């Protein structure tokens, strides 16, 4: 909290402002995501462990609607109570926004069976 968050809190708005000022935000996808969420409960070491069941990401640019929130967790942040978005769906959505069509993905044999997170777009 004291090390990474202050750096992120300063860097992220500057990046987005720069992309906006240069006219690049509409064609640049920015995704902020970790590989895991964190447990909703503090462990016996006063820390939080990896928690793959529920986590968040931030998406902007590439023509996405701003300020949109999709998905919802239970009141403790332990489990999704709406659609659970999977890594396959994330990869498929990123590929689609980058212009890699369903047909192109099939030809490359990547992201087989993934669906675009239309709710985000």
Average pLDDT over residues 35-64: 90
Residue 98 and residue 114 share a domain: yes
Given a cut of 70, whether residue 16 has pLDDT beyond it is yes
Residue 103 and residue 59 share a domain: no
Question: Would you give the DSSP letter of residue 46?
Answer: S
Integer Cα distance of 91 and 56 in angstroms: 15
CB atoms within 10 A of CB 93: 25
Give the number of domains in the chain: 2
Q: Which structural domain, as residue segments, surrounds residue 16?
A: 4-84
CA dist list (Å): 76 to 1, 58, 62, 109? 20, 20, 32, 38
pTM for this entry: 0.86
Given a cut of 90, whether residue 102 has pLDDT beyond it is yes
Given a cut of 70, whether residue 31 has pLDDT beyond it is yes
Residue 92 and residue 78 share a domain: no
Residue 17 and residue 76 share a domain: yes
Structure tokens at 13: 């708005």
Residue 60 and residue 33 share a domain: yes
Residue 63 and residue 97 share a domain: no
Residue 67 and residue 28 share a domain: yes
């Amino acid at each position: 909290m004291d090390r990474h968050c202050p750096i992120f809190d300063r860097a992220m708005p500057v990046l987005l402002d720069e992309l906006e000022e240069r006219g690049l935000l509409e064609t640049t996808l920015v995704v902020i995501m970790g590989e895991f969420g964190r447990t909703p409960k503090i462990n016996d070491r006063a820390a939080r462990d990896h928690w793959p069941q529920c986590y968040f990401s931030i998406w902007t640019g590439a023509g996405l609607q701003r300020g949109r929130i999709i998905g919802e967790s239970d009141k403790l942040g332990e489990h999704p109570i709406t659609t659970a978005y999977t890594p396959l769906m994330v990869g498929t959505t990123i590929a689609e926004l980058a212009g890699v069509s369903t047909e192109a993905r099939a030809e490359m044999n990547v992201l087989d069976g993934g669906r675009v997170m239309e709710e985000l777009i």
